[in-house]
C-alpha cells in the first residue's frame, strides 16, 4: 500500500481508523434497524437514535476520507487533530445521551416474572404509543421493550464509549504526526 512511512505511529493511526470505521458501521446498522422498526409501525423515530445515526454517518464518512488522504500522504495532521477532537465531543454527547437511561437498566430481568408488572405497564405504554399514527417513540420506553433491544442499545452505548477512546487516541496520533512532519531535519556537518 502506498503512502508515507511514519513508522509505528503511522501504522497505529491506520489501525485506529479501521477500528473506528468498523465500530461506526456497526452502530449505523443497529440504529438504522431501530429506525426502520419505528417507521414501519407508523411512528416517528426517537430523537436519540436519529441523532446517533446522524453523528455516526458523518464520522464514518470523515474516517474514510482521512484514511484515503493519509495513504496518499496529503492528510493535514493539524486539521485532523481538530476534527478528531470535535468528533470526540460529539461522541461523548452520544454516549451520555444513549447511556443515561441504559445505565439503570438490567437487560437480564426484562421479561422475567419478577418484573412482570412493569413489563405489562411498558407494553401498555408502547401499545398506546404505537396506536397513535405518527406519534414519537420515547427512547426510554423503546430500550426496555425487549431483552434483545436492550442488549443492542447497550452494544451501541459500548461502541460509542469505545469510539470516544479511539478518537482521543487518533487525535493524539495526529498531533504527534504533525509534530514529526514539522520537525527540522538535522544539518549534516562536514569536517
In terms of Cα–Cα distance, which of 5, 183, 181 is closest to 77? 181
Dist CA 108 CA 148 (whole Å):
10
Dist CA 171 CA 167 (whole Å):
6
Q: CA torsion sign, 143 to 48 to 64 to 170? A: negative
C-alpha cell at 189: 556537518
Q: How many Cα atoms sit within 13 Å of 84 on the Cβ side? A: 29
> Please, what is the Cα angle at 50 between 97 and 116, to 5 degrees?
65
* Report field, pTM of the whole predicted structure over 0.75: yes
Dist CA 146 CA 160 (whole Å):
21
pLDDT in tens, the chain (191 residues): 455 678 899 999 999 999 999 999 999 999 999 889 888 888 888 899 999 999 999 999 999 999 999 999 999 999 999 999 999 999 999 999 999 888 888 888 876 644 445 445 555 555 555 555 556 777 777 777 778 888 999 999 999 999 999 999 999 999 999 998 887 556 666 65
Neighbours of 113 (CB within 10 A): 8
Amino acid at each position: 500500500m502506498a503512502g508515507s512511512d511514519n513508522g509505528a505511529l503511522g501504522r497505529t493511526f491506520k489501525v485506529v481508523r479501521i477500528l473506528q470505521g468498523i465500530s461506526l458501521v456497526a452502530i449505523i446498522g443497529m440504529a438504522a434497524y431501530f429506525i426502520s422498526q419505528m417507521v414501519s409501525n407508523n411512528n416517528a423515530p426517537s430523537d436519540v437514535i436519529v441523532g446517533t445515526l446522524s453523528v455516526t454517518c458523518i464520522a464514518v464518512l470523515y474516517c474514510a476520507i482521512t484514511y484515503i488522504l493519509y495513504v496518499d500522504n496529503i492528510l493535514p495532521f493539524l486539521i485532523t487533530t481538530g476534527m478528531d477532537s470535535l468528533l470526540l465531543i460529539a461522541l461523548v454527547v452520544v454516549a451520555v445521551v444513549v447511556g443515561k437511561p441504559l445505565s439503570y437498566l438490567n437487560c437480564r430481568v426484562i421479561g422475567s416474572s419478577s418484573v412482570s408488572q412493569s413489563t405489562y405497564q411498558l407494553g401498555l405504554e408502547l401499545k398506546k404509543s404505537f396506536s397513535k399514527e405518527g406519534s414519537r417513540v420515547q427512547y426510554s420506553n423503546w430500550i426496555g421493550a425487549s431483552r434483545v433491544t436492550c442488549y443492542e442499545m447497550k452494544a451501541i452505548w459500548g461502541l460509542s464509549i469505545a469510539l470516544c477512546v479511539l478518537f482521543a487516541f487518533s487525535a493524539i496520533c495526529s498531533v504527534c504526526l504533525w509534530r514529526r512532519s514539522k520537525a527540522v531535519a538535522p544539518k549534516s556537518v562536514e569536517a
